[in-house]
Structure 1
Amino acid sequence: MLRHWHDAVPNDRLAHLVKDATRSLVRALQMRLAEHEVSFGHWTFLRILWETDGLTQRELSAQAGVMEPTTFTAVKAMETLGYVERQQMPDNKKNVHVFLTPAGRALRKKLVPLAEEVNEISVAGLSERDILTARKVLLAVIENLAEDESGSTNPLRRVPSTREIGRLIAERGEATDDA
């Protein structure tokens, strides 16, 4: 970031700093993935499948932390690109499993070094101790917020589905049309 950023917002909230750091990391990786005609969204799914090939689309959605329609669209596109193939298993025709093709598996050797490069660049000039501290802090933040979410008894404190949001928007639109 530019020095101006440090001066303009010297006491910025941790959430903003993490968001900006994430945006910078994602952008740096996106630029490198684009050289290989792979989108960041596909990268997310490929990483998961490199570790656990043959997941159902629902399992893939859950691990990626995205809604199932998003996964469906991405998997269809990756299938068109020849990175994955979708299959129903003989014992369960309901679930669609996603498997890497040889081309999808081969991307790992090309793309993982790009992510490693971005990580190396991002910690340039930091001591090993600083890196370990940053990891410790970020993992604690993630754990604290996950605990807060799982421990919440407020039924309104959750992430609504896209369908629910659409319904709420439609209801509000109808209410304002009547006025």
Structure 2
Amino acid sequence: MNVKTNALPDRKEWRNSIPEDRLAHLIKDARRAMERALQIRLIDHSVSFGHWSFLRILWEHDGLTQRELSGLAGMSAPTTFAAINAMEALGYVHRSQREGNKKNVYIHLTLKSRALRKHLLPLAEEINAVAISGLEPEDVRIARKVLTKIVENLSIDEKGLQESSNRRVPSTRALGRLLQLDR
């Protein structure tokens, strides 16, 4: 008797079964694998991956406004606000306002988070090295070129949608409300 099961294919079969038009899935899986590899290493220093993104930016541009930081990180304002609150509680950042400008809130690194840089940047470099091991330098160059072009193309597309139809990516909160209305 031949019984059909819903067993998942093994990893090799799964990779071979992905249609060529599923580039987005491969990019997502690569991103997820790199994030997981880095998170495994960051946890030894009590840093979450979510905080890593903000630390990395602030190491290069300390004293950004919360809005500027949000934009550079590609995060929504509420997500950035929550992350900065948590990072402040951990002693990684502090907020300040400038004399005569109480509107803007500036985010500054603490000595504690500055000291983390020398420990955490090598971890990211290690992940990059692991990710490209076994690849020829020319293949890495081509991958960077292709991925950069993909990001550029999608950015142009998003800008066009915003300009032509005023469509924007909704915040998580707004998306939740929209999905509730569909029920």
Q: Same fold (TM over 0.5)?
A: yes
1:12 deviates by 5.3
The structural deviation recorded for 1:68 is 1.0
Aligned residue pair count: 173
Q: Which amino acid aligns with 1:35?
A: D
Aligned residue among 108, 119, 126 for 1:99 = 108
Q: Which runs of at least 4 in structure 1 moved beyond 6 Å after TM superposition?
A: none
Name the CA distance, whole Å, in 2 between partners of 1:165 and 1:12: 27
Deviations 1:15-40 (CA, angstroms, capped at 9, x unpaired):
11101100101110010001111000
* Change over 3 Å in CA distance of 1:164–1:114 after alignment to 2: same
RMSD between aligned residues = 1.9
The offset of 1:13, in angstroms, is: 1.2
**Matched residues in 2 for 1:172 and 1:36: separation?**
43
Q: 2:57 and 2:73 mapped to 1: Cα distance?
A: 8
Q: 1:83 to 1:4 in 2, by over 3 A?
A: same
- Could you tell me which runs of 5 or more consecutive residues in structure 1 were left unpaired when the two chains were aligned: 174-179
The corresponding residue for 1:38 is: 47
Matched with 2:169 is 159
Distance in 2 between the 1:6 and 1:161 partners? 33
| Post-superposition offset of 1:166 | 4.0
Q: Indicate the SS of the match to 1:35.
A: helix
For 1:78 and 1:163, the matched residues in 2 are separated by 22
Deviation (angstroms), 1:6: 2.6
Residues in 2 aligned to 1:166 and 1:4: alpha-carbon distance in whole angstroms: 36
* TM-score, normalising length: structure 2: 0.87
The structure-2 alpha-carbon separation of the partners of 1:167 and 1:2, relative to structure 1 and needing over 3 Å to count, comes to closer
Of residues 72, 79, 86 in structure 2, which corresponds to 1:63?
A: 72
Deviation, 1:161, is 2.6
Match of 2:97 in 1: 88
1:99-146 alpha-carbon deviations (Å, 9 max, x no partner)? 001111111100000000000000000010000000010001111111
State TM-score, norm by structure 1: 0.89
1:88 is displaced (CA, Å) by 1.0
- CA–CA distance in structure 2, aligned partners of residues 131 and 166 of structure 1: 39
Residue 8 (structure 1) shift: 2.9
Structure 2: where are the runs of 5+ without partners?
Answer: 1-9
Alignment match, 2:86: 77
Matches of 1:77 and 1:149 in 2, distance apart?
31
Partner-residue secondary structure (3-state), 1:19: helix
